[in-house]
Amino acid sequence: MNLTYRILWFEDEMDWAQSLVLDIKTFIEDIGFIFSEPRFERNNSNIDNINYEDFDLILMDYNLSGVEKGDILINKIREHNFFSEIVFYSAAGAPTLRKAVLDKELDGVYCSGRQRDSFLPKVQEVIKATVKKVLDINTLRGIVMAETSDIDDKMLKIISLYTKKLDEVERSDFINKCRGKVIKSTRKKIKELELSDNNTFYNNFLFDSSQKWRAVMEIVKKLYPEKVAITHLYDSEIIKMRNPLAHVKETKDETGKLQLVYKDFIFNEQTSKIIFTSLKRHEENFNSILELMKYTLQP
Q: How many CB atoms lie within 10 A of CB 18?
A: 12
Confidence of residue 191 (pLDDT cuts 50, 70, 90): low
Which distant-in-sequence residues (6+ apart) come within 8 Å of 231 by Cβ?
213, 216, 217, 220, 285, 289
What confidence score (pLDDT) does residue 182 get? 80
Asked if 73 and 193 sit in the same domain, the reply is no
Average pLDDT of the segment spanning 76-94: 83
DSSP conformation class of 65: T
Which of 132, 157, 183 is the last residue in one of the domains? 132
Asked if 169 and 283 sit in the same domain, the reply is yes
Asked if 221 and 238 sit in the same domain, the reply is yes
Asked if 142 and 128 sit in the same domain, the reply is no
Asked if 126 and 144 sit in the same domain, the reply is no
pLDDT-above-90 percentage for the chain: 31
Looking at the predicted structure, is the pLDDT value of residue 25 above 90?
yes
Asked if 70 and 159 sit in the same domain, the reply is no
Q: How far apart are CA 59 and CA 97, in angstroms?
A: 14
Beta strands in the chain (DSSP E): 4-5, 7-10, 34-35, 39-41, 57-61, 86-90, 109-113, 249-252, 258-262, 265-267
Question: pTM of this prediction?
Answer: 0.57
Q: How many structural domains compose the chain?
A: 2
pLDDT tens digits, one per residue of 222-252? 999 999 999 999 999 998 888 777 667 777 7
Asked if 11 and 124 sit in the same domain, the reply is yes
Asked if 118 and 177 sit in the same domain, the reply is no
Q: How far apart are CA 111 and CA 94, in angstroms?
A: 5
**31-56 exposure pattern, b = at least 16 Cβ within 10 A, e = fewer:** bbbbbeebebbbebeebeebeeeebb
Q: How far apart are CA 23 and CA 18, in angstroms?
A: 10
Average pLDDT of the segment spanning 144-170: 88
Asked if 110 and 149 sit in the same domain, the reply is no
Asked if 156 and 266 sit in the same domain, the reply is yes
Range of the domain at 251: 137-296
Which of 90, 111, 132 is the last residue in one of the domains? 132
Residue 10: which CATH number? 3.40.50.2300
Which of 115, 132, 149 is the last residue in one of the domains? 132
Confidence of residue 59 (pLDDT cuts 50, 70, 90): very high
Looking at the predicted structure, is the pLDDT value of residue 1 above 60?
no
Average pLDDT of the segment spanning 172-190: 80
Asked if 233 and 99 sit in the same domain, the reply is no
Asked if 233 and 123 sit in the same domain, the reply is no
Q: How far apart are CA 65 and CA 43, in angstroms?
A: 8
Which distant-in-sequence residues (6+ apart) come within 8 Å of 195 by Cβ?
none
